[in-house]
Chain A
Amino acid sequence: NAGVMQNPRHLVRRRGQEARLRCSPMKGHSHVYWYRQLPEEGLKFMVYLQKENIIDESGMPKERFSAEFPKEGPSILRIQQVVRGDSAAYFCASSPFLGEAFFGQGTRLTVV
């Protein structure tokens, strides 16, 4: 039973480029959460999605950031026109509805 798969593990982008982070949930899980973690800090909630629906995006900046979880394929967190302050580790977690959440290994984004 494969765990939550995130790719890429490391991503380097120049300022102004787009970053696209992918998350494939565990088999049978229809809910995905995205969190952001700065070095030596905690996990900050960004967005909670169900297949084809955004349930709660209260933690996601209104500009430049978007997320989707299509009927088929992985969940995508997209950051447009990246800035240095976007450099962080981005983690996704998946769960069945209202069940335990399991995290992926994260994508470490570096903006240069």
Chain B
Amino acid sequence: DIQVTQSPSSLSASVGDRVTITCRASQSIARYLSWYQQKPGKAPNLLIYAASTLQSGVPARFSGSGSGTDFTLTISSLQPEDFATYYCQQSYRDPRTFGQGTKVEIK
């Protein structure tokens, strides 16, 4: 299986901060990497697919980059509604593993 490791597992930030979350795959997955946001008690919501393509309706403060094994999700200016848990997922090879999640909390 391809392992997907997110870092950090949690972070504290303030409204307006720039936030970066990293996802590293155990082997090259080209650009087959997506990012999801999940709020408590809710289903995940797709933010980014194909490493850097913004899903329709997602605010432009979210961006993704990377290819191969190293990927980044950036929130350029954290908003109150962005406090949530974020997951990356590789879809290069089955099983399509998720990262362990990054919880973004209010500082």
Q: Do A and B bind each other?
A: no
